[in-house]
Amino acid sequence: MRKSKYYGARSLVDYAQVAAAQGFRTRISELDPGTSRGVAEGGHAAAILYALRLLSRLDGYAALVQNEHMRVRGSRVPEISAAGVAELRSVLAGILRDDAPTMLDRWLRRSAAESRDSLAESCAVRAVLACIARPPCLEDDARCASVVGAQLFLSQNWNFAPPSKNPKKKTVVKERASLGTTHSELFGCFATLRPFVLALARDGKAGASKKQK
């Protein structure tokens, strides 16, 4: 009896997580403003970028517990929750792989067309694209393009040094602007995916659609 109650409780937890992820997908679609303009003011665009960063972290953890070769105590998913985790990752893939890249690309294009003074917003969007690329939910070519594009764009348009450390340097974005994520997390994405990008380039498979698990 105890085992059946425990199983039922875990099933409810798994269902709640999947339902929550599905709710995120619905709300992101409903709130999509079609542009990244206004991110600094904390509008719908900022809320969506926050949600995408959160979901990418969740997908990264779900991928970790699904990894049979990961030998870290407590990292293996319980057998009774395996189906729930797989379903959760399926929903997250729908958001991070199918919806987000197209939506964010549309934001970047529209913001650039509307105003030349959109670097801060574009940098925030590029940072989220790098976060999305970290867990293995994208195809190889899209994953490589997201992280390399983000790193190149940010290296040219974002001043990572604190203003007080470099007072004479002309910044490319407003001092109050924010990427919405810490520099350490962003550099972690670049460092984690560097071997993956180099392997694709070395093997000449940067345009392949093969996925790294």
pLDDT, tens digit, 9 for 90 and up, residues 165-192: 555 555 555 555 688 888 899 999 999 9
What local confidence, expressed as pLDDT, does residue 197 receive?
A: 93
Interval 45-81: pLDDT, tens: 999 999 999 999 999 988 888 877 766 666 666 676 7
Backbone angles phi, psi at 42, to 5 degrees: 80, 35
Separation of alpha carbons 164 and 142, rounded Å: 37
Enter the pTM of the model: 0.79
Domain boundaries, the chain: 2-203
- Looking from the CA of 25 toward its CB, the CA atoms found within 13 Å total 18
Burial of 211 from C-beta contacts in 10 A (0-12 / 13-18 / 19+): middle
CB-based contact 45:35 (threshold 8 Å) = yes
Interval 104-126: pLDDT, tens: 999 998 887 776 667 888 999 99
CB atoms within 10 A of CB 160: 11
